[in-house]
Amino acid sequence: MDISIFSPQELPLALQSLTAVAANPKSLTVREQQFLQVVNVLQQGSDKAVVWLPINMSQVAQVITDPHHRKRLLQMAMVMAMVEGEITPRQQQVLQSLAKGLSVNERGLRVLHEAANGHQLLARLDMTRRMMGNIVEPAYREEGVAGVTKIMGPLFFKKGGEDPELAWRFRQLGLLPQDTLGRAFWEHCTQQQFSFPGESSAIPLRLVFHDFGHVLAGYDTTPAGEIQQGAFQAGFVRNDGFLFLLFVILHFHWGVKITPVADAVEGLFDIPLVMRALQRGAACTVDLSDHWNFWDVVEVPLLEVRERYGITPLSFPTREQTVMPVA
């Protein structure tokens, strides 16, 4: 999911569009200001204040014509609307107007509408259907029903997926030198008491990239770490990466339980940290979710793998670097 895409001509209108989605565009909250600033910095490295001016959607559509740029603008507008943990009917209307004006069909708008109006079960079902479609459909194409069973059994029924030979191969990663990616992955799973793929009820092999992503990015498995890891994953996933960003914001910021394997919580969208994680993922040169062969690099030093893949060092911006006044 690339994020730094707007041209110098597009960026002012993009920022104005995000401002229009705020709860009160003329009086932005601190968090809304912060999100605008972070997006501005990610786009051009500038912390110049954003001045709100009324705009109409036809004006935006005349300048931002690239379909991909339009889609990304709408998705960032959805995030802008979510930063406070709830959205107003007016904000929902503005999002719909923006989607119509840009001719963008973003299925996440339906999920957001459901979550905002108290229909959490519907939101969960729609998100699960979309996520499973991205995961299960490739498995079915490549392995048939057996591929689907390998995913659904461990995730939803806590059984199946046993493969002693595969499990032993993962356990042997603990014998590798301590600085290698494979050893770091073994330590990650062992410390968290996670089963290895091939063991009963373990994470399916097709999804093990998520935990390798934890190791490569450096985010822990606390809820605060998971929302950052989800953003990192959204960044490196090339096909519908926004799905994962929407998922973690709903689950770890809005308290809408999406996945059965983690408790939902509220208020964990630390804007600078999560958007930094998204940026780090977008800079990654490999889509870890798309047939990435981790066995090729498990014996390579972790720092070298990060360098190969363009995964920048984990850093934590200060408050002074992430908050600015908005005129």
Question: What does the DSSP 8-state code read for residue 172?
Answer: G
Dist. CA 33–CA 305, nearest whole Å: 36
For 278, counting Cβ atoms within 10 Å of its Cβ (0-12 exposed, 13-18 middle, 19+ buried), the class is buried
Please answer whether residues 281 and 217 qualify as being in contact, where contact means their C-beta atoms are separated by less than 8 angstroms: yes
Directed axis angle between helix 242-252 and helix 271-283, to 10°? 160
Tell me the whole-structure pTM to 2 decimals: 0.88
Per 3-state DSSP, what percentage of the chain is helix, strand, and coil (rounded to 5)? 60, 0, 40
- Three-state SS string over 45-95 comes to CCCCCCCCCCCCHHHHHHHCCCHHHHHHHHHHHHHHHHCCCCCCHHHHHHH
pLDDT, one tens digit per residue, over 94-145 is: 999 999 999 999 999 999 999 999 898 999 888 888 777 677 676 556 667 6
pLDDT at site 321: 38
How far is it, in rounded angstroms, from Cα 85 to Cα 178?
41
Q: What length is written for the chain?
A: 327
Q: 123 with 257: CB under 8 angstroms?
A: no
Residue 45 has what pLDDT? 59
Strand ranges, E, within the chain: none
Rounded distance between C-alpha atoms, residue 50 and residue 148, angstroms = 48
Using one digit for the tens of pLDDT, what is the confidence trace for 62-79? 999 999 999 999 999 999
Query: Rounded distance, CA 246 to CA 234, Å?
Result: 9
Low-confidence ranges of the chain (pLDDT < 70): 44-54, 133, 136, 138-143, 145-161, 316-327
Instruction: Give, for 249, the enclosing helix (H) or strand (E).
Output: helix 242-252
